[in-house]
Amino acid sequence: MRRASALASIALAVLVAACDPATKDNRAETSRAFPTPDRPISELGSNAFSNERDREERREATTVMDLAGVQAGMSVADIGAGEGYYTVRLAERVTAKGRVVAQDIDGDALRRLGARVEADRLDNVSIKPGGEDDPKLPERSFDRVFLVHMYHEVAEPYAFAWRLWPALKPGGKIVVVDTDRSTDRHGIPPALLICELEAVGFHLEEFHRKPELAGYYAQFVAAETRPEPGAIRPCRLKTAKGAGATSASKGN
């Protein structure tokens, strides 16, 4: 499903509206050039893979990798890797000819993932700590970057996604899997996700709702250029009274 069809199926409007200037209190210095997000942030979820069996029974990772076109020899990044449900399956899919970078901000989770990677002898996997507003990925290095059920936890989405833009190879894609609910309930409405990523230099390419995902799949490609941080127009979240419908608008 291409971009126009995806937006129609979501049935959510992305409009242009005015907004108030962003405040910069209590933010990291590295984030202050970027707009303040107009949404609550979920607390960090558990990194344990106790639900891995359920996810595998639904064929979640297989469905996502198929939609993303992951093939042998690709270079992929698993952002918010936790203890590695996607990491180990991506490593198998790309084979020894490819590579997987697993990234997280939780040091304990990365240590447990490291033990798992070592036990499984996944020589094509490397583990890298990331920052709350910076994925810290090398430039022009990845065919696919996966953000699975974690984007709603990013406290500085504009800074984070803006710094993700250079990591893609030509033709590379960003894959977001998430749940259509409010960001303080471990999900993000698709209209808000699309608005935020388009604000920093990505375009929606595909959108799918799949029962295997217990949510939705959104695939983005990089625009030719990205705006300077001060030129980013932040998104505002709106909910229609009595209807539960959600839209996102870009401010000035």
Residue with tokens 């504009």: 158
Q: Kindly list the strands in the beta sheet with 168-178, ordered across the sheet, starting from the edge strand earlier in the chain.
A: 125-129, 99-104, 75-79, 142-148, 168-178, 215-222, 202-210
Spell 122-134 as b/e; 16+ CB within 10 A means b. Answer: bebbebbebbebb
Rounded percentage of the chain residues whose pLDDT exceeds 70: 83
Q: What is the pLDDT of residues 180-195, one digit of tens each?
A: 999 988 999 999 999 9
Residue 68's pLDDT band, with cuts at 50, 70 and 90, is: very high
Residue with tokens 């029962």: 211
So what's the pLDDT on residue 13? 41
Average pLDDT, the chain: 87
Q: What is the pLDDT of residues 204-249, one digit of tens each?
A: 999 999 999 989 999 999 999 999 999 999 998 775 444 445 667 7
Is the predicted pLDDT of residue 40 greater than 50, yes or no?
yes
Least confident of 25-34, 35-44, 45-54, 101-110: 45-54
Residue 45's pLDDT band, with cuts at 50, 70 and 90, is: low
Residue 26's pLDDT band, with cuts at 50, 70 and 90, is: confident
Determine contact, residues 193/175, Cβ cutoff 8 Å: no
So what's the pLDDT on residue 25? 67
- Measure the CA–CA gap between 44 and 49, rounded to whole angstroms: 14
The model's pTM: 0.86
So what's the pLDDT on residue 18? 33
So what's the pLDDT on residue 16? 34
So what's the pLDDT on residue 239? 56
* Helix or strand holding residue 217 (H, E): strand 215-222
Residue 71's pLDDT band, with cuts at 50, 70 and 90, is: very high
**DSSP state letters, 76-87:** EEEET-TT-HHH
So what's the pLDDT on residue 8? 39
Residue 252's pLDDT band, with cuts at 50, 70 and 90, is: low
Q: What is the pLDDT of residues 123-138, one digit of tens each?
A: 999 999 999 999 999 9
